[in-house]
Each structure stands twice: as structure tokens, then as C-alpha cells.
Amino acid sequence: MAMNDPVRLQKFLSQCGIASRRKAEEMIKAGRVQVDGAIVTDMGSKIIPGQNLVKCDGRPLSPQNRAVYILLNKPKGYVTTLSDPQGRPIVTSLLTEISERVFPVGRLDLDTEGALILTNDGEFAQKVQHPSHEVTKTYEALVAGHPTKDQLAQLEKGILIEGKVTSPAKLTVLKKIKHATLIQITIHEGRKRQVRKMFEAVAHPVLHLKRIAYGCLRLHRLPIGKFRVLDSGDLEKIFLEFSLQTKK
């Protein structure tokens, strides 16, 4: 991006590590962004980096110099936002030694733990979340009781939730204990609390939920509350996954 080339406001926000471009559009619509002292809500607005002063929530912005990609094993009780009016802990507070301002790619519920990607690369975040790439999310769900084969098949085929049938999923029973079952489930949709709602629909509510993989990125032995910076090999695998899914 040349300093004198006009760029759309939402793209500039994503390049500054504020949020993905889609989330940046929501921030613009909400009147949180100013250009040269004036609130701008028009999605078609363009600015010239280095000439126009852009602020978000009163904070001056400038593009990030270094792109950072992080895999975090999120603990329960942390919110996947950059601030919380209720004072709950936020995931970025766990990123010690990371000086860049990063944001979560997608979300993970307050009471769910596991794999979460964070970055300051808005273009990357947009690709990861775009439906055309169908990036999978794999969970281990401890559910109440013992779902029948028919119920599991129903979940795999697709089940009606809030007026819309879920896309096909892959389920594997890992372990049965006295009053619960541990099930691995892989989905590629990102509907709010989807896994929990799927099991609630067949009367086997989730007792504990952990996301063990985001696409090809697996937690493996990464401890809860810890993170690792993704390297070039990780990114190559991610973009290869994008390519393969797009060709389907």
C-alpha cells in the first residue's frame, strides 16, 4: 500500500490490526470511526494513509508493520472481545510478550475452551472466516447421557436449529462413562453456540466443550492459557487448506 494511494476505510482499519474487515464495517456503522475529526459511517469512504487522521474510539490509528499470527489455548471464563463492560478477563491479556495489537479470528464462547486464532492481519482473518473456504472446527464435547446411533446420525446429516438446518458434521464417540459420553465433532459453520445447540436439540446437553483444532491447526500439547506464534509452515498449511476447499 503506497502512502498516497486512497484505500477504503474498512480496509485501512483491518490493516491497523483493529479487526477483520467485516468487523471494521460494523464499527464504522456504529459511528466509532472518525476521519479528520468527523464521524464517518459511509462504507464507500476512502482515506489516504499518512494524510488523513483516522481514529477509532478516539484512538489514532496507523497500519501495522509486522503481521502476527497466534494460536491460543483459551481457558474457560475469558471473552473473545477486546474489551468487556462486565469486567470479565479478555483473551488478549494472556498474550504476554506480544507487543502488537491483535484481535480474535471469530469467537469462542465464555464457557468453552480451546483453539483460538488471533492476528493483526485483517485480510487473513477475513479469509479464515469466509464461508467459501469452509474451514473446519473440531471439538471434544462431553455430553449428558448416551446419544443413540440414530441421534448421532441425525446430527451428522443436519438438524434444525432456530429455523435453519445445520450443515453436515462428522461425529466420533471417543468414550462412554456412567452418565455421559465424550464425542468428537467437526463442523465448518460458525453459528453462535452451534455445538451446544446441536446436542440440546437431541436432549443431550453439553457438560464441557473444548475446541481441539481450527482447520489444520491442532492444540496438541499446548497448555490451557498458553499460546504459540504460528510460523511460515503453519501458514502454508492454512493457505493450502483454503485452496483445496475453494476447489471443491
Residues whose CB falls within 8 Å of the CB of residue 146, separated by 6 or more in sequence, listed in order: 176, 180, 181, 204
b/e sequence 218-231, b meaning 16+ C-beta within 10 Å = ebeeeeeeebeebe
Nearest to 119 by CA among 108, 103, 132: 103
Amino acid making up residue 9:
L
Determine which one of 36, 42, 57, 109 is catalytic.
Answer: 109
Q: Report which DSSP code applies to 216.
A: T
111 is catalytic: no
Which residues are designated catalytic?
109
